[in-house]
A and B are shown apart, each in its own frame.
Chain A
């Protein structure tokens, strides 16, 4: 196969891997940028989105956990994927509203450390609650029938159809959020509030409402990420935490508070991963055997973050603090 096809394949894989990170990181970045709130429970919202999606879209068989003990061997509504794609974000949006009001708001004026501790605690509680209810086993989240199997792309060849949908869904959502923040009055207030909250309030605008809505939008995006990301792999209680760390790296690379940054950062993380795993670097001969780059794919992501931080401490699209 030609080098061009290889590169295109790596590009698609990178974009797809990055798409989930982008969806999770946008919320994380906006919340951190507008509200200055470090939300370690953001991964838990991904987890909630995945399990809620599973329950709405699929009929699932449980082999342990409290639900099974109480006689629910099979749970799930089996309503299909599209309803899940609509209901789950709405649900997680409400969860986000509650989270902002009762968890985040009391901690806005506290130190980062307090915020990290309380949200990390919440993340662990959510994870363990899911484990108690559903059991620790992995559950197969079925892809929707219309997006299952491979599609033959020109040049690249076979590519999983669902992964293309993931890229498309991410693109649409990112565009919507971008338009909302850049071209609406709501977005203007939020952006102004980020830059200089005191001045905005002096103008007689209450920031509480745009903030809570922004928080909930971020949460809903993590929920959607859970629904679209879960069919890529089996679902288990630790997927929230596994998603959180790369998402934070994306925020660091892209710059806090920037949607553009989250998109570029997410794509960059996905690309680095795909390039390190992919040919022609897959394995190069070194003395005493072959060095496998694939094992270094995780290291590469951190290395990327380190390089960006060295060159641009505020991230690729982050702006320096005004106040």
Chain B
């Protein structure tokens, strides 16, 4: 702790003195801008102002651990975003706010970190990015526990965190922060979107059994599924926690199978989800129970391969969603990576990086409170998921949610693993600022006073 505060002080002093530059001590009296976007009206804050002529973004993703496949794909998208920000291409050509010539005339550079799908490692890695690499913004996720840890650090250090893959209600609920913004929807919205579709198909009076990953995301996911499915007339038989990173679910699945429930919810993600779903099908559970995988993505569908057939779930985004921005992204990603089809996590990573850059351009500065005010309440329709709002009260994007069903193995291929059953309108999901997870959200201050 002592070392942290020491280096923080050193950094602040360097920043302040550097920024003050020729104006000397006058800078300390309130005129300490002189960098970070050609302005001179803001005091030093976090890693503002930006020194030199490059601005650094930090990308902190799991490249090891159970969510590493998602992390690898996010990283590809982040690298593509930086390439496009500097040289044009992809969405940058269509975003009115972006020029393809860096951000605010600064060339964009980036640093990478490995969260190892672990909150402490994520925080350490992010801390290094902030302290050593002077990142002006960082992004990442896959595992809400890491995202929440990074977001907390962002608030303390006054450096913006653009949440990538995090689906826990807490991220924009009780753990929300002024310095964090989330494009991804949450477990609450997944429950709202999934319950009507699933109950219509399977019946409205079934009993269900839940397995869930035992950390922030899994817990809120399990609660939300119970809430919305019980509202829809289903009843929960039991709900059992499994450790994050568990590889063998056979014993858990046997219990679920002998519970007599009609449906099994697997609230697992990434490699855990691929393992639990394929082991469930291997054990023949799908013959007696309906399996639901509330949150899916492409890498885990690939891992579970033939097991996903007919299984319902929600996803962040899919390349089949046919509109301008979606197609542009799929095309640009494929061009950059040997025809590879991007996953939902990749799309969010790309979107979040560009959203930050566009907000900085609109603000005309990297000064965090100004960028934050550009993001709060921002309405957009440029990332392929229809009209969206980045809500000011909890920094949660209000957006549509795609519901998918796994394709049979014979129809899988070319990066396609799902059929999109329904895209639930944002008008049918979500909650007011004083309801649901948002009721527990208290955004901190932006540090501008």
Query: A residues touching B (Cβ–Cβ < 8 Å)?
Result: 1, 5-6, 9-10, 13-14, 16-17, 63-64, 73, 135-138, 140, 142-143, 148-150, 152, 157-160, 162-163, 232-234, 236, 238-239, 242, 273-274, 277-279, 282-283, 292, 294-295, 297-298
Contacts and interface: CB of A to CB of B under 8 A. Distances in A.
Nearest to B254: A9
Given A150-B283, A236-B271, A138 B68 contact: yes
Secondary structure of the B contact surface, majority rule: helix
Contacts of B373: none
B258 A234 contact: no
A158 B257 contact: yes
Contact of A282 (B240, B260, B283, B287): B240
B214 interface: yes
A223 to B, nearest CB: 19
Given A13-B254, A17-B248, A158-B287, A138 B271 contact: yes
B251 A283 contact: no
A135 B69 CA distance: 10
A259 B279 CA distance: 30
B258 A9 contact: yes
A17 B251 contact: yes
B282 interface: yes
A163 B242 CA distance: 21
B68 A160 contact: no
Contact of A10 (B240, B247, B254, B279): B254
B287 A294 contact: no
| Interface size grouping (class) on chain B | 35 or more
A127 to B, nearest CB: 10
B431 to A, nearest CB: 25
A9 B254 CA distance: 7
Interface in B247-306: 247-248, 250-252, 254-255, 257-258, 260, 271, 274-275, 278-279, 282-285, 287-288, 299, 302-305
A103 to B, nearest CB: 26
- 3 closest pairs, A vs B, by CB? A150-B284, A158-B284, A277-B251
B258 A279 contact: yes
Interface in B56-76: 63-64, 68-69, 72
21 contacts: A1-B260, A5-B258, A9-B258, A63-B69, A63-B72, A135-B72, A136-B72, A137-B68, A138-B303, A140-B304, A143-B282, A157-B258, A158-B284, A159-B284, A233-B275, A273-B251, A277-B252, A282-B255, A292-B214, A294-B243, A297-B251
Given A234-B274, A236-B68, A238-B64, A13 B251 contact: yes
Contacts of A295: 214, 241, 243
Contact of A294 (B240, B271, B275): B240
Interface in B207-249: 214, 238, 240-243, 247-248
A232 B258 contact: no
Nearest to A2: B258
Given A150-B283, A150-B287, A158-B288, A13 B250 contact: yes
Interface string B425-444: 00000000000000000000
